[in-house]
Amino acid sequence: MVARSCIFRVDASSRIGSGHVMRCLALAEELRNREVQCKFYCLPLSGHLMELIRARGFVVQPLESTPHNGIQSAYELRKLLESEGRAGESLNLVVDHYGIDHQWESEVRPSVNAILAIDDLADRKHDCNILLDQNYSSRTGRYRDLIPEDAVFLQGPGYALLRSEFRAVRTAHTIPGFDLRNVLIFFGGTDPDNYTSIALKLLASLGDFAPRVMVGAGHPDIPSVRKALSGFAHQELHVQSQTVPELMAQSSWYFGAGGSITWERLCMGLPGIAVPVADNQEELVHELSKGGYTLRVDLPFSAQTLSQQLDRLGKEYGALQQRGMSLVDGFGASRVSNELINVNRSIDIRPATENDLTILFQWANDSKTRENAFQSKPIPWSDHVEWFSARLKSSDSRIFIFIVDGLPAGQIRFDLKFGEWWIDYGIDRQYRGQGLAKILLKCAEAWMKATFGHLRLRAEVKAQNSASLKVFEASGYSIISVDGGVASCEKDA
C-alpha cells in the first residue's frame, strides 16, 4: 500500500550538526513532489533547525521529552499521532537519529505502516522495514545482525539524499578546471569549534587565495570569520546559504568537514580536501581517501601537510572529479522514495538530449566501463563534449537513455557503418546484476526497427567480458569470431 503521509523524527543542535536534518529535507521534498504529505517531529534543542524546516514549507511539531530519555519520546510520538488522527496504514516513518534504536522503533511501529531508519554507524539494532546507509564503505555485512531478516537494505552513495537542485545545477553547469585560488570552505552547519577561522588563517599563511566561505546561522562566532576573511583581497561569506549547488558550481575545490556535504560536492564534481571534525566522519573520510575519491587533512592543521595535499590535488584533479561524479549521481532521494512508497517497476527508453551530457560523461568514465572499453584511459571532459555534440547532430548515430522507475539507468548507442548498426551499451552501477541489459537491448532494438525496418546489428566486446557476451548471446546474437581478444557479435532483426 502506498502511504499518503510520512513523518520524520530527526533533531539538530549545536553539537549534533545539520546534516541529519538536511538529508531528511531532501527526502521530504522528493516525497512531496509525489503528493506525499510530510511532517517533522523534533526536540527543541539549542541550535535546532525547526525554522529552516518550516521555511521549506513543512509542518514541525516540537516534542517535549528530554534528549536523554529517548523511549519517552517514542511514547510521546505515539500519543501525538493518535491525537492528530495520523496513526494508521497510510503513514510511514523516517528516523534519522543516532540516539534511537530498535526499542524506540518497536514502540512506535504499531502506529505506522513502515519504518525507514537512516544510519551509518552500525552500532545498534533496528526494528525497521528499510535501513539506509548512504556511506561509502569497503566493509560488508555490517548490519547483518542489526536489522530484521526481511528488511530492505539500501547501501552506498547511489542512495545519498540530495536535493533535486544539485542534480539540476550539475546537469546545467560546465565542469571547471583546477584553480588553486578558487576554494569553497565549509566546516559544518554549526562548526562549534570554529575551524572555519582556523582554516582561513592557515590559507592566508600559504599564499594568495580567493575563499568562498559557507557557515550556518548557528555558527558560534561569525564576527571572527569576517575578521579572518578581511585579509583576502577577494572573498565571499554566505550565511545559511540557499544556493549551495550554485556556490559549488562556481568553485574549483573544497576544504572543510567530511560530513554529509561530501555527497553534494562529489555529485557536483567538486574535488577537495576533507577534514574529519567529528568521530562519525572518521571512517567516511578514511574510506573515501583510500578509494581515491577525496584527499584528507587531519586535525590539528599543519601548513606542511596542507601544502602537500594541495600539490596532490593539482596533479589528481581530473581523476578525483570523474570518480566523484561517477560515485554520486544525485538520484538517491528518488531511489529511496521508490522503496519507501513501493513504486512498481517501470521500464522505458527515450532518445538522448543535450541535458544528458553530464550523466553520459559519468557513465563513460565509470571504472567498470573503462575496464571493459578498448581504450581504458579516462575520457577528458572537453573530448566528451565535442564527441556528444557530433553524435547528436549525426544522422548515422542514435543514442537512447534507459529509464527504470523514472530514473536514468543506462545508455545504448547505435552507429551506422557500411550498412550495419554498431552497438555500444552500458548499465548504471546501481542497476547492474538485475538482468536489465537484455531488456535494454530488446527495447532499443524495437525502437530502431520501428524507425528503420530491417536491421543488421553488430557489436564488438572484449573476449574477457563474459557478462556482456552472455547478454548478446541471450538476446539472439551470434558470435562470429574471436580474434586478438575481441569477440564480434551480429544479428539480423
- Please indicate, yes or no, if residue 67 is contained in any of the structural domains: yes
Same domain? 199 vs 143? no
Q: Are residues 172 and 137 in the same domain?
A: no
pLDDT at 15 over 80: no
The CATH number for 437's domain is 3.40.630.30
Domain limits at 352? 346-492
pLDDT one-digit tens code per residue, 107-161: 999 999 999 999 989 999 999 999 999 999 877 788 989 999 999 999 999 999 9
- Clarify whether residues 386 and 437 are in a common domain: yes
- Asked whether residue 371 is assigned to any structural domain, the reply reads yes
Give pLDDT tens digits for 222-246.
Answer: 999 999 999 999 999 999 998 999 9
Tens-digit pLDDT profile for residues 35-73: 999 999 998 888 788 999 999 999 999 998 665 556 778
- Cell numbers for 87: 496513526
Statement to judge: residues 395 and 483 lie in one domain = yes
Of 3-7, 142-146, 208-212, 298-302, the range with the lowest mean pLDDT is 3-7
Please give the tally of structural domains in the chain: 3
pLDDT at 428: 94
The mean pLDDT of the chain is: 92
Residue 91, C-alpha cell as written in the block: 503513514
Please say whether the beta carbons of 42 and 60 come within 8 A: yes
> Which domain-ending residue is among 279, 294, 327?
327
Neighbour tally for 145: CB within 10 Å: 8
Answer with the one of 159, 186, 207 that is the final residue of a domain.
159
Considering the domain architecture, whether residues 271 and 178 belong to the same structural domain is answered as: yes
Q: Which residues of 93-122 are buried (b: 16+ CB within 10 A; e: fewer)?
A: bbbbbeebbbebbbbbbebbbbbbbbbbeb
Please choose, from the candidates 272, 233, 222, 229, the residue with its C-alpha nearest in 3D space to the C-alpha of residue 251.
272
In a domain, 332, yes or no: no
The band of 173, judged by pLDDT with boundaries at 50, 70 and 90, is confident
Q: What is the mean pLDDT of residues 3-17?
A: 81
Q: Does the pLDDT at position 198 exceed 50?
A: yes
Q: What angle do CA 235, 239, 244 make, to 5 degrees?
A: 80
13 shares a domain with 75: yes
Question: Mean pLDDT across the stretch 311-319?
Answer: 95
d(CA 433, CA 459): 21
pLDDT at 342: 80
The percent of residues above 90 in pLDDT, for the chain, comes to 79
**Interatomic CA distance for residues 157 and 201, integer angstroms:** 33
| pLDDT of 3 higher than 90 | no
Give me the percent of the chain exceeding a pLDDT of 70: 97
User: If you average pLDDT over residues 309-329, what whole number do you get?
Assistant: 94
Torsion angles phi and psi, residue 336, rounded to 5? -65, -40
Quick one: pLDDT band at residue 329, thresholds 50, 70, 90? very high
Specify the DSSP class assigned to residue 413.
E
Q: What is the pLDDT of residue 301?
A: 92
Task: Name every residue whose Cβ is closer than 8 Å to that of residue 274 and which is 6 or more positions away in sequence.
Answer: 254, 256, 257, 258, 262, 281, 285, 288, 289, 294, 295, 296, 297
357-378 mean pLDDT: 92
- What order of strands is seen across the sheet that includes strand 253-257? 236-239, 212-215, 183-186, 253-257, 272-275, 295-296
Same domain, 72 and 123: yes
Residue 488: pLDDT over 50: yes
Q: Are residues 308 and 358 in the same domain?
A: no
Residue 338 lies in a domain: no
Confidence of residue 4 (pLDDT cuts 50, 70, 90): confident
pLDDT at 1 (0 to 100): 41
pLDDT at 18 over 70: yes
Q: The domain that contains 56 carries what CATH number?
A: 3.40.50.11190
Does 336 reside within a domain?
no
Say whether both 74 and 91 belong to one domain: yes
Residue 395 lies in a domain: yes
- pLDDT recorded at residue 315: 95
Instruction: Report the range of poorest mean pLDDT among 12-16, 79-83, 371-375, 394-398.
Output: 12-16
